[in-house]
Each structure stands twice: as structure tokens, then as C-alpha cells.
């Protein structure tokens, strides 16, 4: 084909219009020039409707997880919706104890969205996927009319392989177990809210968005009796611990003084009247393991760059009401409940 007969996309000043989702030449061009180029791999190059993948090793099982990302603003300190969409889904696969292998991605783009931003976000997404070693093997693009979407939504689905014998489950926590968190809580949600509310800080609060499969593998190796891993995203530590308490039919008692919180995040929470325990994370793990393995697990997590501030923050107790309680640093006790009502809008 003669290159001259194709009008290249104006990636610098152009914007997405409805024709880019219309199934015609414009769409093919957008897919090839933006997505194909960034994610380039053997599966995408074939251009088929789906990706044909090898079967897992004998004894291994497949894990599938999916996650839709609607964060606003699209770019935030420490990341953007592109890398977030990769990390979020990889983490959902990783906390099952599985090795993430492949990603699928769907893009819903609002008419008028600047191509330059799209290119930037897709590049960030591709970089995150490459760094994690998890290729995006298939995808889909839809364009919606102006006003029907907020710039860009990205949904990703991840596939991973679960080794034989690995049985992590939210229902596995037992009274006496230790509760461990891999680092400071509330960073991601607060990075976004601080940006939205224009809070002034000496240094911007950065999202902790990161792919956690490396850290998860460390945890699995360090604690043979590991009951479960979770990534406390929306609703924060509080929501995830309540889910665990419900699933496992146990209570949990936290020690507030032991929970790591970045001082800037704490100050911003104070200002906005929020509790860091309710704020989303995108690069933290919660682990529950037998008390006897807790020390080794914390030490192992601390040895990984993403787990430096890992800490043992509480213990599982028998409680038919499945309450999550906390000994406050102040010396009292209170419950740590789910956040009621509308979550703070669109942080992941």
C-alpha cells in the first residue's frame, strides 16, 4: 500500500470523534496507530477478535478478575487512569495468590477527547503492563457522544495461573490470626482528593498505584499458612476488613497506633473530615496469617520495595457479630465500620 494515500491521525491536536468508534476506516486507524503501537505483541498483531492463549501448566488453575476504572481526574500525582487500569486488575489476580499472565482492555472514550491525552494514557498503560510483564492481548474501543462519558473509562480483565495447593480465601481467617498491612493507608484516594480540592502541601500526596504480584509472591512464600491477601481499594482498609470479617464469620480488633499513615495524608484527612481507614489504596496488601508466622511475614514484606512500611495492625477474634473494632491511639475503643452512603465519587 502506498503510505501517501493515508491521512495520518493528528495525534498532537486532534480529538476522538464518533467515527473512531464507528467500525470504519477511522476506527481501524485509531486502533492501529494508538493501541497497536503502544501495546504491540504477537496476539494483537494477528488482529483477530480474540487472543488464543496456551493452557496453564498441569495442576494449575485459572483465575479471572475484572475491574472498571472511572477515576476523575484522569491524571493525578503518582499515576493516571492508564497505569491504574493495569495495576488494579493485576492486583485482583495477585491477591488470589495467582501469577498474572494476560490482560484484556476495553476503552470507552467520550467524543472530543484529545488524542494527545489518549496517546499519553495508553503509553502509561503499556509501560505499566510491560513493567509488570503482563501483556494486553485483546481489547475493544467504543466512542460515546459528548456528555455521555467523562473523558475516558477503561475496563480491564486479567487472567492468571494459580499454583496447585494455593488456597487463599477471604473466608479463611481464624480467631487468633494476625492482620498485616503492607504500608501506609489512604495514599491513593487522598492524592486524588487533594488534587480535586486543591489542597496545598509542601509536596504533593502521591498515589501508591503499583502492581502487587511481586509483593504478593513474597507473602505467599514467607507464610506457608497464609490465609488470605486482599488489596484494600475502594472503601479503604475499613471496607476490606469488614468484608473479611463477614466472609470468615469472625471479628477483628485493630490497634490504631500500629496502622501506618503518611503524615500528609493524615493532615489532609483531618482537613476534609475523613478517616484514612476509609480511603482507597491502589498499592497495598492486607494479609491475614497465623500469629506464629506474622513476624516472618512482616519481615519479608519489609524486604520488598513496595512493603517497606509493612506492619502488624491487629488480630482476628471470635465474634458472632463480625464487628471490626479498634483500640484507638487515644486509649478508647470504637468500631471501624463501612462508610455509609455515597462513596467519595470516582477515585479509581
Please identify, using beta-carbon distances, which residue of 8 and 263 lies nearer to other proteins. Answer: 263
Indicate whether 203 belongs to the interface with other proteins (CB under 8 A). Answer: no
Check residue 200 for interaction with other proteins (CB under 8 A). yes
The angle at the Cα of 86, spanning 16 to 42, to the nearest 5 degrees, equals: 80
CA 123-127-128 angle, 5° bins: 120
Binding residues for other proteins, rule CB under 8 A, total: 36
Interface segment toward other proteins; rule CB under 8 A; list 109-117, 184-192, 197-205, 212-220: 197-205
Name the helix (H) or strand (E) containing 110: strand 99-110
Q: Which is nearer to other proteins, 67 or 315 (CB)?
A: 315
If one asks whether residue 61 binds other proteins (CB under 8 A), the answer comes out as: no
Q: Are 312 and 191 in contact (CB under 8 A)?
A: no
171 binds other proteins (CB under 8 A): no
Task: Find the shortest distance in angstroms from Cβ 288 to other proteins.
Answer: 16
Give yes or no for a contact between 237 and 311, defined as CB atoms under 8 angstroms apart.
no
The nearer residue to other proteins, 305 or 341, going by C-beta atoms, is 341
Determine how many CB atoms are found less than 10 A away from the CB of residue 198: 6
Question: What is the spatial distance between Cα 29 and Cα 9, in angstroms, rounded to a whole number?
Answer: 8
Contact mark string toward other proteins, 99..118, x via CB under 8 A: --------------------
Is the Cβ–Cβ distance between 345 and 273 less than 8 Å? no
* Ordered alpha helix ranges (H), the chain: 25-30, 37-39, 42-46, 81-94, 115-132, 187-197, 213-222, 236-248, 263-272, 291-302
The b-or-e profile of 68-107 (16+ CB within 10 A means b, else e) is ebbbeebebbbbbbbbbbbbbbbbbbbbbbbbbbbbbbbb
Stretch of residues binding other proteins (CB under 8 A), selected from 49-57, 82-90, 105-113, 243-251: 243-251
CB of 247 to other proteins, least distance (A): 12
Among 267, 291, 295, 309, binds other proteins (CB under 8 A): 267
Residue 135: closest CA among 57, 29, 45, 220: 45
Question: Does residue 148 bind other proteins (CB under 8 A)?
Answer: no
Residue 309 binds other proteins, judged by CB under 8 A: no
CA distance 37 to 31: 8
Residues forming a β-bridge with 79: 76
Nearer to other proteins, 235 or 251 (CB): 251
Least distance between other proteins and beta carbon 321 (Å): 6
Q: Does 334 bind other proteins (CB under 8 A)?
A: yes
Task: Decide: is 147 part of the binding site for other proteins (CB under 8 A).
Answer: no
Select from 95-103, 135-143, 180-188, 318-326 the region that touches other proteins (CB under 8 A): 318-326
Report the interface residues with other proteins, using CB under 8 A.
175, 197, 199-201, 249-251, 257, 263-264, 266-268, 270-271, 275, 318-321, 323, 325, 327-335, 337, 340-342
Amino acid at each position: 500500500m502506498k503510505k501517501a494515500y493515508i491521512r495520518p491521525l493528528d495525534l498532537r491536536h486532534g480529538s476522538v470523534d464518533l467515527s473512531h468508534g464507528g467500525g470504519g476506516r477511522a476506527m481501524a486507524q485509531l486502533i492501529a496507530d494508538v493501541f497497536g503501537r503502544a501495546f504491540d505483541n504477537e496476539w494483537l498483531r494477528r488482529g483477530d477478535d480474540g487472543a488464543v492463549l496456551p493452557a496453564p501448566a498441569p495442576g494449575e488453575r485459572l483465575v479471572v478478575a475484572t475491574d472498571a476504572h472511572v477515576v476523575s481526574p484522569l491524571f493525578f500525582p503518582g499515576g493516571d487512569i492508564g497505569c491504574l487500569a493495569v495495576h488494579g486488575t493485576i492486583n485482583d489476580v495477585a491477591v488470589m495468590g495467582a501469577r498474572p499472565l494476560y490482560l484484556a482492555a476495553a476503552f470507552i472514550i467520550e467524543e472530543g477527547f484529545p488524542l494527545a491525552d489518549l496517546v499519553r494514557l495508553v503509553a502509561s498503560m503499556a509501560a505499566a503492563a510491560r513493567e509488570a510483564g503482563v501483556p494486553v492481548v485483546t481489547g475493544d474501543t467504543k466512542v460515546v457522544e459528548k456528555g455521555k462519558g467523562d473523558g475516558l473509562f477503561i475496563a480491564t480483565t486479567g487472567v492468571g495461573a494459580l499454583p496447585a495447593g494455593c488456597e487463599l480465601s477471604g473466608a479463611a481467617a481464624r480467631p487468633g490470626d494476625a492482620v498485616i498491612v503492607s504500608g501506609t493507608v489512604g495514599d491513593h484516594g487522598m492524592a486524588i482528593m487533594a488534587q480535586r480540592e486543591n489542597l496545598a502541601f509542601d509536596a504533593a500526596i502521591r498515589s501508591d498505584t503499583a502492581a502487587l504480584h511481586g509483593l504478593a509472591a513474597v507473602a505467599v512464600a514467607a507464610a506457608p499458612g497464609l490465609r488470605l491477601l486482599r488489596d484494600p481499594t475502594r472503601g479503604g482498609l475499613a471496607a476490606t476488613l469488614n468484608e473479611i470479617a463477614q466472609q470468615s464469620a469472625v471479628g477483628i480488633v485493630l490497634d490504631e497506633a500500629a496502622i501506618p499513615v503518611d503524615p500528609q495524608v493524615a493532615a489532609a484527612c483531618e482537613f476534609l473530615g475523613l478517616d484514612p481507614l476509609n480511603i482507597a489504596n491502589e498499592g497495598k496488601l492486607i494479609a491475614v496469617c497465623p500469629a506464629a508466622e506474622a513476624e516472618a511475614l512482616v519481615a519479608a514484606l519489609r524486604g520488598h520495595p513496595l512493603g517497606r512500611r509493612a506492619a502488624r495492625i491487629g488480630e482476628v477474634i471470635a465474634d458472632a457479630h463480625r464487628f471490626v473494632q479498634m483500640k484507638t491511639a487515644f486509649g478508647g475503643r470504637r468500631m471501624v465500620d463501612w462508610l455509609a452512603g455515597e462513596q467519595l465519587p470516582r477515585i479509581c
